[in-house]
């Protein structure tokens, strides 16, 4: 066994001892804002597909995918990111966090409304998908501008990596009905 293999084996053994997966190890090294950005891009791509799709079954499948991606993201973001920002002695940061909560609530409501429309090819459903997309495009761009500025101002790179671990842990707890 050469030196590199020994190092690799030692790394794997340590990983097992700590009962952490490779994914968990990577989480310690990632800025929470990078994770959020990746997830935002995924949701934006799904919304783009949703407003363009014409078949009812494709629309329903996309709506389900968006809900599965968005709901855990929003709940974990509120708990780990917004609450941390709101806890600062910084009035603007508090308002940014509260604004995020309000916009998440509107997105949840729109998802529930769309879920109740049985005909996914109806004008009502089409209009709803446009509203959902506009709402989330606005929310995401504002969040990336304001909340991220607050997070960068109040938390160090190490703290943001720790927030990433907590964020991913929190996301796993969320059940989507």
- Binding residues for Fe ion, per CB under 5 A? 77, 143
- 110 versus 120: smaller Cβ distance to Fe ion: 110
- 18 versus 112: smaller Cβ distance to Fe ion: 112
- 143 versus 150: smaller Cβ distance to Fe ion: 143
Q: What are phi and psi of 156, to 5 degrees?
A: -75, 170
- Assign 3-class secondary structure to 67-105: HHHHHHHHHHHHHHHHHHHHCCCCHHHHHHHHHHHHHHH
**Shortest spacing between CB 174 and Fe ion, in angstroms:** 14
**Shortest spacing between CB 115 and Fe ion, in angstroms:** 20
**Shortest spacing between CB 74 and Fe ion, in angstroms:** 6
């Amino acid at each position: 066994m050469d030196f590199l293999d020994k190092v690799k084996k030692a790394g794997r053994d340590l990983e097992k001892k700590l009962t952490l997966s490779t994914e968990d190890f990577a989480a310690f090294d990632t800025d929470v804002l990078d994770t959020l950005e990746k997830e935002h891009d995924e949701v934006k791509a799904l919304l783009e597909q949703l407003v363009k799709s014409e078949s009812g079954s494709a629309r329903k499948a996309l709506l389900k995918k968006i809900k599965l991606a968005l709901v855990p993201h929003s709940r974990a973001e509120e708990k780990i990111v917004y609450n941390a920002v709101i806890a600062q002695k910084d009035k603007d940061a508090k308002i940014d966090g509260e604004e995020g909560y309000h916009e998440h609530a509107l997105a949840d409501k729109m998802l529930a409304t769309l879920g109740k429309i049985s005909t996914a090819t109806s004008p009502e459903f089409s209009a709803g998908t446009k509203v959902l997309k506009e709402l989330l495009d606005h929310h995401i761009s504002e969040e990336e501008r304001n909340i991220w500025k607050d997070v960068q101002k109040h938390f160090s790179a190490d703290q943001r990596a720790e927030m990433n671990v907590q964020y991913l842990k929190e996301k796993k707890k969320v059940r989507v009905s």
